Amino acid sequence: MPISRELALKILRYLLDNSSFYFPFKIVCINFDEDDELYDVEISQEMLDEILSNGEFKDFELVENLQHLDLQTLQLMSKGFIEKIIYDDALNKIETAAKEYKNLWKRDVCESVKIEEYGFNEFLGGKAEGFEESLEILKEYISKNHI
């Protein structure tokens, strides 16, 4: 899975600070050939310093390394899968609500002089906009957090 340089650095810093934490992935730098010693990013302060100072370290990937699945690792992996399912379900529900309210809103009623008809139509339009904005916010959050 491709990851940004910034995320690779965050992961590396976290793993250095939490040496007992099992991370079931290897970080590799795809700017180097697999035979190159710089391809596999080792968890060390020297490697962190090298990445920070060397502009050749640009593109990274996480590669599965499931050698030891302890309880904490399984819980974290399960949480990720469950969040994916829940977020997808939430996205679908919000998108459906936005479409339903958008379909109920009528452009021609925006010119109505009947205050109740006009007000209800504005209410429907506001609900549609609210759900559309919520959908955008949630999608942005998911995208930024790679969920």
* Share of the chain residues as helix, strand and coil, in percent rounded to the nearest 5: 60, 10, 30
Q: What are the pLDDT digits (tens) for 72-114?
A: 878 888 887 788 777 888 888 999 999 999 999 998 888 878 8
Closest CA to 25 of 59, 2, 51: 2
pTM of the model: 0.53
Q: What are the pLDDT digits (tens) for 1-40?
A: 888 888 889 999 999 998 888 888 888 888 887 777 667 7
Same structural domain, 48 and 85: no
Same structural domain, 60 and 41: yes
Same structural domain, 78 and 45: no
44, 68, 92: which is the final residue of a domain? 68
Name the residue range of residue 48's domain: 2-68
Same structural domain, 17 and 63: yes
Q: What is the C-alpha separation between 105 and 102, in angstroms, rounded?
A: 5
**Which carries the bigger pLDDT value, residue 61 or residue 86?**
61
State the CB neighbour count (10 A cutoff) for residue 74. 11
147 pLDDT higher than 80: no
